[in-house]
Amino acid sequence: METTTTIKPDERESVITTEQLTKRFAKFIAVDAISFSVKKGEIFGFLGANGAGKTTAMKMLTGLLSPSSGKASVAGFDVYKQAERIKQNIGYMSQRFSLYEDLTIAENIRFYGGVYGLSRTTIADKTGALLQRLQLEHARNALISSLPLGWKQKLAFSVSLLHEPAIIFLDEPTGGVDPITRRQFWELIYEAASEGVTVFVTTHYMDEAEYCDRVSIMVNGRIEALDSPRGLKERFHASTMDEVFVTLARPSA
């Protein structure tokens, strides 16, 4: 039997907690009193149909948007009063917001290291380690624009971890990426989580939902279900996460 002594997720501390977190835009309730928590080192899948409120919820959790009501703390900081501290303690990556195309790999690392206030020596050390880990030493002076999308995404992921954040938010990180690179990307996620980084990820690939420790599914601003992929499949008598998603996201369909 297993002899590992890893702590079970539910015994670990929570790094994201929300209580009745709500965002209204005029009369429209984009996020409707969501309450959940995410544990340290957990890979948390944040799913929902287009327009379900995922982006708004993520903006509140990353300190970019102030909630209308409810409570939330991220990495130990309050979303109302300590939004700047949150930004310093999280990493963020999406397909739309990535690296600077007309800077080289090394220049991007130096830039982001500087933004996060790392010292020159730290940046130099981290640059070497990062390039080695991704086997990109030979490409340190290559322009980002010359790299295939898959490499950009893997690099952007690693750069967003430069300042050793407690949590990384990934917004559809693998959209449009080829199937092999998509899997290599998930192995980077696994690796980061095994080192204690909490991963909060959105995706439209339902097979990727299976890689998460727990998955929440948002429908019309609410969290309709939250459990492990196995738990969700059992509860909805489904054989795949795709079926679970279809059942929940369009109850009428």
Partner 1 sequence: MAITAENLGKHFGDVEAVKSLSFHIEHGELFGFIGPDGAGKTTLFRMLTTLMLPDTGSASVLGLDVVREYKNLRNRLGYMPGRFSLYQDLSVEENLRFFATIFNTTIEENYHLIRDIYIQIEPFKKRRAGQLSGGMKQKLALCCALIHKPDVLFLDEPTTGVDAVSRKEFWEMLKDLKAQGITIVVSTPYMDEASLCDRVALIQKGTILNINTPEAIVAEYGKPLFAVKSARMYELLGALRGFSFAHSVYPFGEFVHYTDSRAEAQPEEITAYLAGQGFTDAEAHSIKANIEDSFMALMESPSGQEIP
CB of 165 to partner 1, least distance (A): 21
d(CA 135, CA 94): 22
In the stretch 93-132, what mask flags binding to partner 1 with x, by CB under 8 A? Answer: ----------------------------------------
User: Does 12 participate in binding partner 1 (rule CB under 8 A)?
Assistant: no
> Contacting partner 1 (CB under 8 A), which of 148, 195, 234, 235?
148
Q: Which stretch binds partner 1 (CB under 8 A): 20-28, 42-50, 66-74, 116-124?
A: 42-50
User: Does 149 participate in binding partner 1 (rule CB under 8 A)?
Assistant: yes
Cβ neighbours of residue 248 closer than 8 Å, sequence gap 6 or more: 217, 219, 224, 225, 236
Q: Buried (b) or exposed (e) across 73-111, using 16+ Cβ within 10 A?
A: bbbebebeebbeebbebbbbbbbeebbeeeebbbbbbbe
Residues from 151 through 210 that contact partner 1 (CB under 8 A): 151, 172, 175-181, 183-184, 186-187, 190, 194, 204-207, 210
Cβ neighbours of residue 40 closer than 8 Å, sequence gap 6 or more: 12, 13, 14, 15, 166, 196, 198
Tokens of 14: 């929570």
CB of 5 to partner 1, least distance (A): 13
The amino acid that residue 115 corresponds to is V
Binding site for partner 1 (CB under 8 A): 1-4, 48-51, 136, 138-139, 142, 146-151, 172, 175-181, 183-184, 186-187, 190, 194, 204-207, 210-211, 229-230, 240-242, 245-246, 249-250, 253
